[in-house]
Amino acid sequence: MGLTVLIPGAGARENAWAWKLAQSPRVGKIYCAPGTPGTAQFAENVQIPPTSIDRLARFAERRSIDLTVVGREDLLGLGIVNTFRARGLRIFGPTRAAAEIETDKALAKFMMSVSGIPTGTFRVFSRYDEAVVYVVECFTHTPGLTLFIKASGLASGKGAYRCETLEKAQEALWKIMVGRVHQDAGDNVLVEECIPGQEISIHALADGKSSILFPPAQDHKTIGEDERSPMTGGMGVITPVPWFKAHDMAAVDRQIVLPTLSMLASSGRRFSGCLFPGLKITNEGPKVLEFNARFGDPETQAYMRLLKSDLVELLWACTDGTLATCKLGWRGGFAASITLASGWYPYEQKGKCGFPIQGIKEAEKVPGVVVFHAGTKLIDGTLCTDGGRVLSVTALGASLRETLDHAYEAVHLVSFKGMQYRKNIGAKAL
């Protein structure tokens, strides 16, 4: 009998895990809660909302789930790992306290500044009037400045505002602190310097004692090709990043990953799971933009395509402190994932959905292409859109050029009403 695995969630990241775990000779059965028509190809979907953590734990007990794998940060913030562990259930991911490195951005910044982990300058405000006075001072002293204004709590990747003018900064503060568009997540607001440089995503598996790095990835966060367009959770990823070399990764490990894990441990937040620092690479070296306490989306979709090792062995090792015995194996070449989104994304929480999706079968005939589902559902047997992020088109190739050619050839075969995607994923790394 193989292992039984439970994946709470319904994103393309969860679909990529199900796809990869289904290839493991050690995995017998996979459940996704609630999953998508995409995960249904590899798993049994169970209609339990993932935020119903007690129901999920009871399900895990009834079905003798051997391992639960969590990616959603809201579930980590709700303490899913604490609940499962308290009931003797094995689960991959950090505790609620350890996940604060992501769920409380103000705390993360304070921890970085006291531990000397490189990051940009920042101020934290809980009062709107004080925040406004500060941004007025900033723009008066430094005309032409760019600031980032961020909700400190979780905001589905949409709580960061790039502000190139005082008016934009005031508008962002008003939205978050007075309009409360991100609700409690905006109780504290960070005003940060804009760190120049290219963005890199780092993923480090950790078991509380040791850690192991994935290859570097590069996400593209804004909805459009213009880097000043609105932020999303991620519109496309490439991995590895050709210009980010082994010695750069060694510096990231030394200056950021290892000190962060020891800082978390010494503050009573021993971290096991996937630590994902989002970095900016500057002339002074890497600086942390933010920490995530989980696998990224769409990073995971590209990683799962490139990973040769058995995923379940790695996740299991993180839960029982044996990561030091594991080695990561990767295919040669590159992987890319491109997000296909609904036309209204990322503006509304839930805009118009239910549009038929065509062309996935044809897209998957392109060499090296696999399409993962995020916001999809079956309506009378027809696959339709059901969210902002709809599909993740992934591709492999020997070179980055070939990978992106395959990915975009596949993207052009898929269609649904209002479909949007970025046309320059990976372009600056070519």
| Closest-CA residue to 293 (of 103, 64, 41, 159) | 103
In whole angstroms, give the CA distance from residue 403 to residue 409: 10
How far apart are CB 157 and ligand GLY at their closest, in Å? 5
How far apart are CB 235 and ligand GLY at their closest, in Å? 9
How far apart are CB 297 and ligand GLY at their closest, in Å? 5
Amino acid at 203: H
In whole angstroms, give the CA distance from residue 119 to residue 396: 33
Query: How remote is the C-alpha of 239 from its chain's centroid?
Result: 14
How far apart are CB 354 and ligand GLY at their closest, in Å? 26
How far apart are CB 141 and ligand GLY at their closest, in Å? 32
Place of tokens 């913030």: 77
How far apart are CB 299 and ligand GLY at their closest, in Å? 6
How far apart are CB 234 and ligand GLY at their closest, in Å? 3
How far apart are CB 219 and ligand GLY at their closest, in Å? 4
Q: In the complex with ligand GLY, which residue's Cβ is closer, 27 or 275?
A: 275
Query: Who's near 359: CB < 8 A, 6+ residues apart?
Result: 413, 414, 415
User: Would you tell me which residues interact with ligand GLY (CB under 6 A)?
Assistant: 157, 219, 233-234, 292, 296-297, 299
In whole angstroms, give the CA distance from residue 231 to residue 3: 38
Contact 428, 241 (CB under 8 A): no
How far apart are CB 127 and ligand GLY at their closest, in Å? 28
The burial class, CB within 10 Å (0-12 / 13-18 / 19+), for 424 is middle
Q: In the complex with ligand GLY, which residue's Cβ is closer, 93 or 233?
A: 233
Q: Is residue 133 classed as helix, strand or coil in its secondary structure?
A: helix
Q: In the complex with ligand GLY, which residue's Cβ is closer, 102 or 386?
A: 102
DSSP string across 73-93:
HHHHHTTHHHHHHHTT--EES
In whole angstroms, give the CA distance from residue 259 to residue 262: 5
Q: In the complex with ligand GLY, which residue's Cβ is closer, 64 or 349?
A: 349
Q: In the complex with ligand GLY, which residue's Cβ is closer, 358 or 424?
A: 424
Q: In the complex with ligand GLY, which residue's Cβ is closer, 170 or 394?
A: 394
Two tokens, residue 99:
């996940």
Q: In the complex with ligand GLY, which residue's Cβ is closer, 207 or 219?
A: 219
Contact 346, 232 (CB under 8 A): yes
| Closest-CA residue to 218 (of 196, 238, 235, 194) | 238
Q: How far is CA 43 from CA 25, 46, 204, 365, 414, in A?
A: 15, 9, 26, 22, 24
Two tokens, residue 259:
């000190």
Q: In the complex with ligand GLY, which residue's Cβ is closer, 35 or 71?
A: 71
DSSP tag of 330: B
Q: In the complex with ligand GLY, which residue's Cβ is closer, 157 or 359?
A: 157
